[in-house]
Chain A
Amino acid sequence: MKSLSPFLCALFLLLLPARAQSVQYTEFDLPNGLHVILHEDHSLPIVSVNLWYHVGSANEKPKRTGFAHLFEHLMFEGSKNVPEGDFDNLLEAVGGDNNGSTTSDRTNYWITVPSNALEMALFLESDRMGWLLDTMTAERVNGQREVVKNELRQSYANVPYGMASIIVDELTFPAGHPYHWPTIGYMADLNAATHKDVADFFKRYYVPNNASLVIAGDVDPVKTRALVEKWFGSIKPGQPVLPVAPPPAELTRVVRKTIQDKVQLPRLDIAWITPPHYAPGDAELDLVAQVLAGGKNSRLYKRLVYDLQVAQEVSAYQASQRLASTFHIVLTPRPGHTTEELKKMVDEELERLRKEPVSQRELDRARNGLEAAFLAGLEQLSGFGGKADMLNAYYVATGNPDYFALDLNRYRAVRASDLSAVVRSFLPADRRVELTVVPEVKK
């Protein structure tokens, strides 16, 4: 990601409307396989051009990690008809904004422009889809490699507990599984990447038949379609890209590890492998996370932080992804208390959840909060998690861009007893990861 704000290892934010918000759209395919979705929203004179390539770090191989993300960086460095630096120069000159991000499952790019500059955005986006390699020199690869190394430092190495998120995934998924290595990659692999490696990656994955384009905002659908055909029509398709399909990962025991960091307080990350995004159990686990640690009255917050005051922080979340999700509980004890102490309490609370259904109030509280959060997302047209991004996300995951109401229904259909069922099925005490970060021992 090229922005000035920290790297988004984008977990899908759970988003759902309070009533059946339907987002109107039209869609078509170009002959070269590019899928295009158009959505009109004239509330502001702006347009969001949102492009997803269906490739992420999950498509990489061991020893060649970090490519998808490095490649994302290179996409901003110019193409055959766009001199280096001009991608941003041209957009800024028309009052545009842009960014991108890489996750395990996909790479997204978005451009926001005032509506008069839609064609500029399409020119830039199509030029880098079709003509990036023409100007992608070894020097450019080296330059962005250095930027990515600093991203690794700024977002992980120089951040308290920063390396924990990388190590948790390594412990959760076996070596060779696409979710084992971090999207940002390992320094050694990045150092070994050659210009040819990177070019091969582009030719294989950055093809129109492996991409979907959403154009949303102050647009005329007929004129917009003509512009898309004009600028993207002559890009040649590539070979079909098969989705990654590894054997499902499973934890069979408790995997424990302790690492040191320059921190004052220890921290325990507990993680489980859980159902993929949109699969049965996924929405339920979002709600379990809220019941456990969302707000003062949540099970863990109330007991550990508010009543007993043995924890400084507690959080829980379902990180939903395409192949498999992970569920996390993260605990920071207060001075004078230990991670073991907190873990025991967490296990007691999980056992309570397994045995007794939550109250209707608890369920409604959890659900209403998630619904409100989604409405907030609908307000934003462009950018990460905005309407255009969600249209693309829903299309890629389900084939239906207007999945908004159906997404909501996943949560509305949940009953209190369902939460107990998913805790029993997916959050066992004896099959999970426990990563402890302890303060560095001074020599």
Chain B
Amino acid sequence: MIGLLLLVLLLVSPVLGQDRTRPPESGRPPSLTLPTVHKRALSNGIPVWVVERHQVPVVAVDLLLTSGSASDPAGAYGMASLTAGMLDEGAGARDALALADELDYLGASLGASTSYDATSVGLYVPVARLAQALPVMADVVLRPTFPAAELERRRTELLVEFSRLSDDPGTIARLAFPHALFGPEHRYGTGLVGRMAFVKAVNREQLAAFHASRYRPEKAAFIVVGDVKVDEVVGLLEAQFGSWKATGPVEESGVAAPAQHGPRTVYLVDKPGAAQSVIRIGRVGVDRATPDYFALEVLNTILGGSFTSRLNQNLREKNGYTYGARSGFDMRRLPGPFVATAAVQTDKTAEAVREFFVELDGMKKPVPEGELIKARNNVAYGFPSSFATNQDVAGQLEEQLLYGLPDDYYATYVDKILAVTPAEVQAAAEKQLQTDSVAVVIVGDVKVIRPKLEALKLGPIKVVELNELL
């Protein structure tokens, strides 16, 4: 009888085959076959890195210049950003409207922008139209005309945007935080767009001179990712950029290594009636060449770099103060900011700030093994998604070029992440998360939030006026 029952159960069991009592095994993660990077150069020495990807008939062509907003001259913070922004307002024989007409007709997007460390001009276009789009890109990069009338138009646009700064607490916080951390003198203390005084005063000759001195072949590199053949696309680039010669004198403003923030201070910017306080807490972090890079990737994943991170779980899931909390290290050629941030409901501002410190300080204790493994796996096994699109791949190569990462950087990335130890994370936390020297920047309804913030006794409280940020 029992035998019969067992037999019946055995026959039925494939239907009941799913064992839900524990998650299924996942087996060995597949390894990512990294795309082949073909490294060539134009006749004037400009490196060209090409990755062929034939899934979709599109191509991304990025020009990278190893000079960005950090090279803005003193008193002219905003120069690099405005120069890049004005490239397509007139170039070669075309005015702004003709350039836009041609690019839009080709279905091409051509954008120029800066970071602190670099300038990039990126073309994204169906490959069938690449040959028509490249000459336009060349005009824009090599022969911008900076027409005075267009500069006036852009100037007014930017000044109106400055006047609207008080509208958006998020934007205010993004300016107020570096201002508090680096001060108004250091380039990192001001946003990429720069100061209002500069935008008011700049003339087209200054933009043209800046372009001549910074847009030079010795600072340039091309990264091409998409549905192209290597030799063909190098030939196209040679035709457009091969005879590029520098025209202006070499002039580079240096940025000194930033000083660390002083003793912990709270900076408040008033947004009366705000439904939330935007909180940014941090200090000067590390540069891209830091030997602690991999330990910090894992540390940040645990602290505020994933949905299950400590900051997000505490502030969102456990306490319901916010829609999301996160943290990050901005690693530049020189040390950029470390910031932990969230927008929290106004009436829980002080409570949320306290929890930020609980988590920041908590990272200095040894991380439990399971949590560490999860974070390492998250970064290591999620790695293939960084190579999903042409622009993803181009971005990875740009980082490699800009920061001189070794040739085997991506091939060894996964192993390096998986090798990070709890001791390394703890040591990095002790070095970087020194909460007695952070800037605590909060944009919110000062009248409502100040009393409970004072009761936290974090340090001196300074109220920052909006016009200090302009």
Using CB atoms and an 8 Å cutoff, list the residues of chain A in contact with chain B: 2-5, 7, 18-19, 21, 41, 43-46, 80-82, 85, 88-90, 92-97, 112, 114-117, 119-120, 123-124, 126-127, 131, 143, 146-147, 149-151, 153-155, 157-160, 218, 230-231, 233-234, 262-265, 294-297, 302, 306, 309, 312, 334-335, 361, 364-365, 368-369, 371-372, 375-376, 378-382
Distance (Å) between the CB of A55 and the closest chain B CB?
Answer: 23
Do the beta carbons of A160 and B168 come within 8 Å of each other?
yes
Do the beta carbons of A116 and B26 come within 8 Å of each other?
yes
Distance, CA A85 to CA B307, complexed state (A): 10
Do the beta carbons of B388 and A150 come within 8 Å of each other?
no
Asked whether A154 and B153 contact (CB < 8 A) given A18-B128, A381-B388, the answer is no
Contacts of B324 in A (CB 8 A): 3-5, 154
Do the beta carbons of A44 and B164 come within 8 Å of each other?
no
Distance, CA A221 to CA B275, complexed state (A): 50
Distance, CA A11 to CA B390, complexed state (A): 25
Within the complex, which residue of A46, A150, A262 is in contact with B321, where a contact is CB–CB below 8 Å?
Answer: A150
| CB pairs A–B below 8 angstroms (6 shown) | A94-B26, A95-B383, A96-B381, A127-B20, A153-B275, A159-B168
Do the beta carbons of B381 and A89 come within 8 Å of each other?
no
Asked whether A264 and B167 contact (CB < 8 A) given A92-B307, A116-B26, A116-B27, the answer is yes
Distance, CA A228 to CA B380, complexed state (A): 27
Do the beta carbons of B323 and A114 come within 8 Å of each other?
no
Contacts of A149 in B (CB 8 A): 320, 345
Within the complex, which residue of B15, B276, B388 is in contact with A379, where a contact is CB–CB below 8 Å?
Answer: B388
Do the beta carbons of B104 and A297 come within 8 Å of each other?
yes
With most chain A CB atoms within 10 A of its CB, the pick from B170, B378, B379 is B378
Distance, CA A233 to CA B344, complexed state (A): 42
Distance (Å) between the CB of A35 and the closest chain B CB?
Answer: 20
Distance, CA A234 to CA B15, complexed state (A): 8
Do the beta carbons of B169 and A158 come within 8 Å of each other?
yes
Contacts of B321 in A (CB 8 A): 150
With most chain B CB atoms within 10 A of its CB, the pick from A3, A160, A379 is A379
Asked whether A372 and B381 contact (CB < 8 A) given A116-B27, A146-B320, A380-B389, the answer is no
**Could you tell me the dominant secondary structure of chain B's interface residues?**
mixed
Do the beta carbons of B307 and A262 come within 8 Å of each other?
no
Contacts of B384 in A (CB 8 A): 44-46, 114
Interface stretch (choices B175-183, B185-193, B308-316, B405-413): B308-316
What 8 new A-B contacts, CB under 8 Å, besides A92-B307, A158-B169, A297-B100? A3-B307, A81-B22, A92-B377, A114-B384, A151-B323, A306-B96, A334-B156, A364-B105
With most chain A CB atoms within 10 A of its CB, the pick from B16, B26, B378 is B26
Contacts of A126 in B (CB 8 A): 18
Do the beta carbons of B153 and A92 come within 8 Å of each other?
no
Do the beta carbons of B104 and A81 come within 8 Å of each other?
no
Do the beta carbons of A96 and B382 come within 8 Å of each other?
yes
Distance, CA A46 to CA B29, complexed state (A): 10
Contacts of A94 in B (CB 8 A): 26, 29, 377, 381
Within the complex, which residue of A82, A155, A218, A294 is in contact with B30, where a contact is CB–CB below 8 Å?
Answer: A218
Do the beta carbons of A375 and B104 come within 8 Å of each other?
no
Contacts of B31 in A (CB 8 A): 45
Interface stretch (choices B51-59, B242-250, B450-458): B51-59
Do the beta carbons of A45 and B32 come within 8 Å of each other?
yes
Do the beta carbons of B97 and A4 come within 8 Å of each other?
no
Contacts of B320 in A (CB 8 A): 143, 146-147, 149-150
Contacts of A92 in B (CB 8 A): 306-308, 374-375, 377-378
For A79, give the chain B residue with the smallest CB separation. Answer: B20
Interface stretch (choices B41-49, B106-114, B205-213, B233-241): B106-114
Distance (Å) between the CB of B370 and the closest chain A CB?
Answer: 9
For B125, give the chain A residue with the smallest CB separation. Answer: A372
Query: Is B203 at the interface (CB under 8 A from chain A)?
Result: no
For A112, give the chain B residue with the smallest CB separation. Answer: B385
Within the complex, which residue of B23, B124, B164, B379 is in contact with A376, where a contact is CB–CB below 8 Å?
Answer: B124
Query: Is B373 at the interface (CB under 8 A from chain A)?
Result: yes
Asked whether A295 and B104 contact (CB < 8 A) given A18-B57, A147-B323, A151-B323, the answer is yes
For B153, give the chain A residue with the smallest CB separation. Answer: A309
Distance, CA A3 to CA B32, complexed state (A): 26
Contacts of A81 in B (CB 8 A): 20-22
Do the beta carbons of B24 and A296 come within 8 Å of each other?
no
Within the complex, which residue of A45, A46, A365 is in contact with B105, where a contact is CB–CB below 8 Å?
Answer: A365
Do the beta carbons of A297 and B57 come within 8 Å of each other?
no
Distance, CA A231 to CA B18, complexed state (A): 6
Within the complex, which residue of B20, B168, B308, B379 is in contact with A89, where a contact is CB–CB below 8 Å?
Answer: B308
Do the beta carbons of B126 and A375 come within 8 Å of each other?
yes
Contacts of B124 in A (CB 8 A): 372, 376
Distance (Å) between the CB of A405 and the closest chain B CB?
Answer: 14
Do the beta carbons of A230 and B107 come within 8 Å of each other?
no
Contact with A along B261-284 (1 / 0, CB 8 A): 000000000011111101000000
For A232, give the chain B residue with the smallest CB separation. Answer: B18
Distance, CA A294 to CA B57, complexed state (A): 23
Distance, CA A45 to CA B124, complexed state (A): 25
Distance, CA A96 to CA B375, complexed state (A): 11
For B227, give the chain A residue with the smallest CB separation. Answer: A375
Distance, CA A375 to CA B55, complexed state (A): 10
Query: Is B369 at the interface (CB under 8 A from chain A)?
Result: no
Asked whether A372 and B382 contact (CB < 8 A) given A150-B345, A379-B389, the answer is no
Contacts of A45 in B (CB 8 A): 30-32, 384
Do the beta carbons of B343 and A312 come within 8 Å of each other?
no
Query: Is B17 at the interface (CB under 8 A from chain A)?
Result: yes
Do the beta carbons of A44 and B32 come within 8 Å of each other?
yes
Distance, CA A234 to CA B96, complexed state (A): 62
Do the beta carbons of A265 and B164 come within 8 Å of each other?
yes
Contacts of A82 in B (CB 8 A): 23
Contacts of A157 in B (CB 8 A): 275-276
Query: Is B322 at the interface (CB under 8 A from chain A)?
Result: yes
Asked whether A296 and B156 contact (CB < 8 A) given A45-B32, A150-B344, A231-B18, the answer is no
Distance (Å) between the CB of A286 and the closest chain B CB?
Answer: 15
Do the beta carbons of A119 and B24 come within 8 Å of each other?
yes
Do the beta carbons of A335 and B163 come within 8 Å of each other?
yes
Distance (Å) between the CB of A137 and the closest chain B CB?
Answer: 14
Within the complex, which residue of B274, B308, B313, B383 is in contact with A158, where a contact is CB–CB below 8 Å?
Answer: B274
Within the complex, which residue of B28, B97, B317, B322 is in contact with A297, where a contact is CB–CB below 8 Å?
Answer: B97
Do the beta carbons of A376 and B58 come within 8 Å of each other?
yes
Distance (Å) between the CB of A132 and the closest chain B CB?
Answer: 13
For A89, give the chain B residue with the smallest CB separation. Answer: B308
Distance (Å) between the CB of B15 and the closest chain A CB?
Answer: 7
Query: Is B293 at the interface (CB under 8 A from chain A)?
Result: no
Within the complex, which residue of B15, B163, B322 is in contact with A150, where a contact is CB–CB below 8 Å?
Answer: B322
Distance, CA A356 to CA B326, complexed state (A): 52
Distance (Å) between the CB of B96 and the closest chain A CB?
Answer: 6
With most chain A CB atoms within 10 A of its CB, the pick from B125, B373, B382 is B382
For B322, give the chain A residue with the smallest CB separation. Answer: A150
